[in-house]
Amino acid sequence: MKRTVKLTSLKEAVSTVRDGERIALGGFAIYQRPMALTAELVRQKKRQLTLIGILNGIEADLLTGAGVLHCIETSYVGLERFGLARNFRRAAESGVLKTVDYPELIAWDRFRASQEGLPFWPCTFLGGSGVAANNPDIVPFACPVTARQMWAVPPANPDVVLLHAPLGDEYGNVAFHSRKMLPQSADITLSRCCDRVIVSVEKIVSPQQLSRQPHLVEIPAFRTTHIVEAPFGAHPTSVPGIYDCDERAFWDYVTASATPQRFAQWLQQHITGVADHQAYLDQSGNRRLLALRNMT
């Protein structure tokens, strides 16, 4: 049986994301975010997207500042040691962006519900919480076994998932390092809860190379719809084991996002005014990018 080649460009892969869809972006906090894919969403002027997340960072703030998002469902949006996600904060406080809050564990469990095809995820610990009181999609019910008060939390149900990973082949098989942390574990869970999975990878390798270490292939080809080679595709976030986060780029982003006007200038300089991901890398400079690998 002939296998389907799924290797394509960032532009082609992101063009399949439709306005108004529910999307999930891989990674965790400020680690292993699919930033090349995120930037392409901005370049293609996607609109009215709902972002479903677990614990979000610069990718959510960037999409918010660029006017891509209509709603975000998550437990947190911030830049960790780099401070507040200012675009997100302004939009949430003004009401421009709809926000739906979930506890971090429940935010993850929502994806587990989608993975298992469940209509809801049962939760026992929302009593007295404003999360349940302010979210009509969370439905209280009595446990049929114990009669204890429980809550039915809706599944994440993304229309499309976008991830960044270390390695893949042209057929869409995706491999991670044997040592996994939260970003990798989150990506694997997300890849199993949706029929449309777009993955950018640091490097495309031969199927033979992956077949020599099949235990590293956590996302098999039948789960992916598109795969893209995008070196430093998580920049300025890190890919653990490959390169560190670019602290200078983070601080530049923080400074620029202080006001909408300064952020608009940053967006033009680094995203919308740059033709593609390769041009973005050229702007960053090879010496600077390679130095991030030496820091790991």
83's CB contacts (< 8 A; 6+ apart) are: 254
Judge contact between 47 and 76, C-beta under 8 A.
no
Q: What is the pLDDT of residues 134-151, one digit of tens each?
A: 899 999 999 999 999 999
User: pTM for the whole thing?
Assistant: 0.95
Residue 180: the pLDDT is 77
Taking residues 20-33, report their average pLDDT. 96
Judge contact between 237 and 57, C-beta under 8 A.
yes
For residue 65 the two structure tokens come to 């500042």
Judge contact between 111 and 85, C-beta under 8 A.
no
Taking residues 163-188, report their average pLDDT. 91
Q: What is the largest CA-CA distance in the chain?
A: 63
Beta bridge partners of 207: none
State the amino acid at position 135 in one-letter form.
Answer: N
Q: What is the pLDDT of residues 220-237, one digit of tens each?
A: 999 999 999 999 999 999
Q: Is the pLDDT of residue 91 over 50?
A: yes
Confidence of residue 129 (pLDDT cuts 50, 70, 90): confident
95 in helix, strand or coil? Answer: coil
Average pLDDT over the chain reads 95
Confidence of residue 177 (pLDDT cuts 50, 70, 90): confident
DSSP assignment of 128-172 equals T-HHHHT-TTSEEEE-TTT--EEEEEPP---SEEEEEEEEE-TTS
Taking residues 56-80, report their average pLDDT. 97
Residue 295: the pLDDT is 55
Q: Is the pLDDT of residue 189 over 70?
A: yes
Q: What is the pLDDT of residues 99-119, one digit of tens each?
A: 999 999 999 999 999 999 999
Q: Read off φ and ψ for residue 42, nearest 5 degrees.
A: -70, -45
Percent of residues, the chain, with pLDDT higher than 90: 91
Residue 79: the pLDDT is 97
Integer angstrom CA distances of residue 246 from 9, 128, 199, 251, 288: 24, 41, 22, 9, 9
Residue 126: the pLDDT is 84
Confidence of residue 172 (pLDDT cuts 50, 70, 90): very high
Confidence of residue 248 (pLDDT cuts 50, 70, 90): very high
Q: Is the pLDDT of residue 77 over 90?
A: yes
Residue 178: the pLDDT is 81
Lowest mean pLDDT among 67-81, 180-194, 240-254: 180-194
Residue 296: the pLDDT is 44
Taking residues 272-288, report their average pLDDT. 95
Residue 294: the pLDDT is 65
**DSSP character at residue 270:** I
Judge contact between 32 and 234, C-beta under 8 A.
yes
